[in-house]
Structure formats: C-alpha cells, structure tokens
A and B are shown apart, each in its own frame.
Chain A
Amino acid sequence: MSTLSIVIAIVSFVLGALLALLTIPVLVWLERRIASLVQDRLGPNRTNVFGFRLGGVVQSFADVVKLLLKEEYYPSHIKTGRWLFMLAPVITFSAALLAFMAIPFADTILVDGEALRVQALPIDYGVFWYLAIGAIGVLGVIFGGWLSHNKYALLGAARAGSMVISYELPLGLSILSFIITYNTIDFNAMVQWQSGTFFGFLPAWGILVQPLASIILIVALFAETNRNPFTVAEGESEIVAGFMTEHTAMKFAMYFMGEYVAMNTASAVIITMIFGGYQIPWVSTEMMLQNFSTFAIALMVSVPVIVFLLIKWMRKNNTVRPTVSTDGGRNFETKVLSIALISMTVLIEVILLYLMFFADSALANSITVMLFQIVVFVVKLMLFNIFFILIRWTVPRFRYDQVQHLGWVYLLPLSLLNLFITAIIVVGVT
C-alpha cells in the first residue's frame, strides 16, 4: 500500500462520516426553509455569526446548542431498564449512520495498479450491508417505545415496528429484481452498469430499466425512514409524539437526527441504485478519463457560468426591504461570499489549465474525475433530500390501516410480479 492509497482510504472514510453528519444541520435547515416556501413564508433566516447568515443554516447550529444545554430528565415511572431507555435513540442513530457507509461517492480509482474504492467502508456487498444494518434501526424505536411505559409510546413503537416489517418485504423484493438486472450486490458495480445506454439513446438508469421496481423502492424507503406520508409512528392528534413522547433533550435529538440520517441514507441508496449514483447521464468514467481535455474544457466553461448565476441570485435575494434602514451586514456577507466564490473559480480554472497543458499524469486526471464525481454525488443527494422534504410538505398523511393495506395488498404482489417478469426476461435474454 502506497501513501497515496492510505490517504485516499482515510479521505473517503472522513468524507462518508462528514456527508452523513454534516448534512443533518443542512437538512434541518432545508426542511424548515422548504416548508416555509411551500406555505408562502420565509422561515428561519435571521440568526447570524458576525453578519454571516448563509441563508439561515446558522440557525441549525443554534438549535444544536439549545438541545445540548437543555435539562435532561427521566420519567420517574421508569423503574427498570433506564440504561436501555437511554441507549435506544443511539441504536437508531448509529444504525442509520452505519448504513450510509457502504455508499460509493466516486468510481474506483487506480493507484499504482491497485483499484481503490471511494467509499467509507471498502466492501463489495453494499446492498447486503444496507439491508442488514438498516434493519437494526427500528429496534431502537421499539426498545425506546416499550421502555417508556406509556400508552402513546407503546402504540407508536408497535406501529413503527409493524410498518417497517411489512415494508421490508416489498423493499427486499424490489431490491432483488435490481440485483437480478444488474447481476451484482455491489453498489459500485451497480453504478457502473448504469453508465451504459438503454435502447441506444436513453441512459441505462434503474428508473428507466426497472420503472415499477423503482417506484416500489422509493415508496418502501419512504416508509422505512418514517417520513411523510408514512408518519404513522407519531401523530399529534392521535398518539402525541409516538415512541419519543418520553424522550427529552439530547435523547430526543438523537431520534430526530437519526431520522434525518436515515433520510439521507435512503436518498443515497435511491440515487445509487436507480439514478446513476455519482455519474452524469451518458458519460462513464472511462469516457471522461480518455477525453480528459474535452472534460476539462467543459468544466472550465460550466463552472464560471454556474458561479455567475449563483452570485447573481445571491445579490438579488440577500437584501432587506427598501424601507429598512440598516441592512444587518447583508451587503458585507454578499461581498465576502462573492469574493470567495470567484477566487475558488479562478483556482479551479488554473488547476484545470495546468492539468490540461503541463502535467501529463494519469493519476492527477483520475483524481480530478473523482472529485468531480463526488460533487455530482453530493448535488444529486441534496436534490433527493429536497424531494423527500417536498413530499412531506405537500402530501397528506395516510391512516394506519391504509398504510398496511398499501403495503400488503398493492406493493407486495406488484413487487413479486415484477421479480417474476424480471427473472423471465433476464433468463430469456441470456
């Protein structure tokens, strides 16, 4: 193992941890801002550090500080098993966090003839890992709900548990039909399979190759993550906060963050399995590496355009109403962020120019492609998180019996049928 391969292993591990953990404040912020957008208001946008608001992201850090400093108290009626009561949120949180670790952020990179995986855990059975570790998460909900010794918590836990069990079947069956189609259980190989074309012109993304299984996968993952329209485990009007009724302060925050990490993991699984993962359509990694100069020129043209549009959008929106006399440091923030963005663009251009004309190193090229793929992955991940949030704020909730009905009567037979048809087609083709 060379030094570079160790560096890449460490970087991909840190990247996995950061992508899972640092997206929590961003997701909380996105949730609140998009909810506001849907409801025609602004949402939290005042909190700042030295005038920097970053559109309100700073609010999430203030929330974290609040939750950390809150008074912890335990319900006095819990006599035995207080340790398990406290451990339960940690089980949910860490299961969601660990399940994220098998997602590839970029294609395998060749260093000294050694193929290195750019994923936090370099394993080739990612789908299995996700299914196995993801299934532990619901245990935290059940333990927490049972040990609260509270009718609402008990009902919430029972609902969450039975819903997850009934949706694990369609989820597993739809994933099985993807495994049959892609002929692998490795997330990275799945993404590579999707870099080809389908019918000659469509990108071979899972959603186009397996439309029914994709829809079932998305619906089942919505249920697995307890997101709307499947929020039956908690409901203000029926069972208060469900399984987390008795959990306070940081224990509540663990459940809360676990939900966001699970949502992030679910989006990562969706984009990896059916939306081409870290790849942009029609362009595979080999193509980018072979035509590196074309790729670099395209990047050099598109980055300034994107940054220009971003700065223009920021200048238009990062202002106060004309009737307000002080701008609260908003002009200053716009100026600093513009300078930072422009200097970043210049740096990228210089590096790309250097790589194109002066350095002729295949390794540097593949590292550039890797970084580009990581950026594509993060953009897709955020788009899917926004999709999750938009669904939550536009679609009404299901009733509990409707949830079970949908799972057992529609999704399970449909996924079985899809599996059957897929098997017939795959056997017929080969």
Chain B
Amino acid sequence: MLEISIFSILAIFMLGGSFAMISNKQTVFSAFGFLVTMIGMAGIFAMLNNQFLAMAQIMVSVGAVVVLSMLTILTVNAKEENLPKEPHKYKWIIFSTIAVAPFTVLLYKTLTTMDRHFSEMATIDSKVLGSVLFSKWVLPFEILSILLLAAMLGAIVIARKKS
C-alpha cells in the first residue's frame, strides 16, 4: 500500500512535470517541469531498489542537462513578445496524443511481456556494474564515447569564430 501510494505521488509529479514541459510557453517553466519529471523518475528508480541508477539519473539529467538548458535560456533571454505564437497548441497536443496512442499500446504490450525473457537478476551494485561495463561491454562503451567526442567536436567547430 505504501509502495503504491509513493509510486502514485511520483507518477503524478512526473505526469504534471511533463505536461508542464510541453504546454508552457515560457522556456524556464518547461525546464522546471523537466526537472520535476527527472527527479520523479529518479525516485521511481530508487523505489526499484536501484540507487545507483537513481543517483546517475539526477547527476546527468538534473545536474547537467537541466543546468545547461537553463544556461541557454539565460543567454538567449527571449522576451515575452518574441516567443512564437501557438494558437492551436492544445489541439496539437490532443491530436498528437491520439496519433501516438496505438504505438503506446504496442509499447505497453511489449514491456509487459518482456520480463519473461530476462532471467532473475541480483541487485545491481555499482561495483558489479562497473566491472561488467569495463569487461564485457567495453567495445560498445568506447564506440559511444567516440560518438560523444564527435558531437563535442562538432559543437566546437560551430561555435568557433571564423578567422
């Protein structure tokens, strides 16, 4: 009962946060909605007894993504009248929700049947995760890091002054 109620509170926070994120005109409130959603998701990870993932979620999504997007918002500092006009915003939201509904059902079906294909896993602790990441998964990990490096180089090239 306690678990269900905590889960519902977190879920309400996440739903509210994500709705605020897409429906707000001012980017700063969208960022706040994203922050609430991410913290709620970390809470759900923690409820699944996976504290490592919860902390990593907060560290990456909140500490890096939200702070960086807030810095962008600060730098751009768009005025109220310069924001794009969105007269049919709620219509868009409703119709796109209806459009993706079949895919949501598909996703739900997939996710609910998926757990049968996994063997029972012991609790993931950070030591096990680290050793698996650096032994079995070291090649995908390195490929991902090359992807990130390419993205960073691209950003530097774009931002550099043309001499």
Contact = CB atoms under 8 A, between A and B. Distances in A.
B55 A128 contact: yes
A133 B63 CA distance: 8
Nearest to B29: A81
B11 interface: no
A146 B73 contact: yes
A403 interface: no
Interface in A125-174: 125, 128-129, 131-133, 135-136, 138-139, 142-143, 145-147, 154, 157-158, 161-162, 164-165, 168
A145 B52 contact: no
Contact of B63 (A129, A135, A157, A158): A135
Contact of A131 (B28, B59, B75): B59
B58 A132 contact: yes
Interface string B22-50: 00001011001001000000000000000
Interface residues of B, number: 24
B52 A84 contact: no
A116 interface: no
Contact of A143 (B32, B59, B68): B32
Nearest to A79: B80
B139 interface: no
Interface residues of A, number: 28
A168 B71 CA distance: 15
Contacts of B51: 123, 125
Nearest to A185: B126
Given A125-B52, A128-B59, A147 B71 contact: no
Nearest to A168: B63
A173 to B, nearest CB: 14
Contacts of B68: 165
A158 B32 contact: no
Contact of B32 (A84, A128, A129, A133): A84
B62 interface: yes
Contacts of B58: 132-133, 135-136
B74 interface: yes
A146 B78 CA distance: 11
Interface string B57-80: 011001110111011011101000
Contacts of A138: 67
Q: Please indicate which of the listed interface residues B26, B64, B74 has the most CB atoms of chain A within 10 Å of its own CB.
A: B74
Nearest to B77: A154
A80 interface: yes
9 contacts: A81-B29, A132-B59, A135-B59, A136-B63, A139-B35, A139-B67, A142-B74, A162-B71, A165-B68
Given A84-B29, A143-B32, 11 more contacts: A125-B52, A128-B56, A135-B62, A135-B64, A136-B63, A139-B62, A142-B71, A145-B74, A146-B74, A154-B77, A158-B75
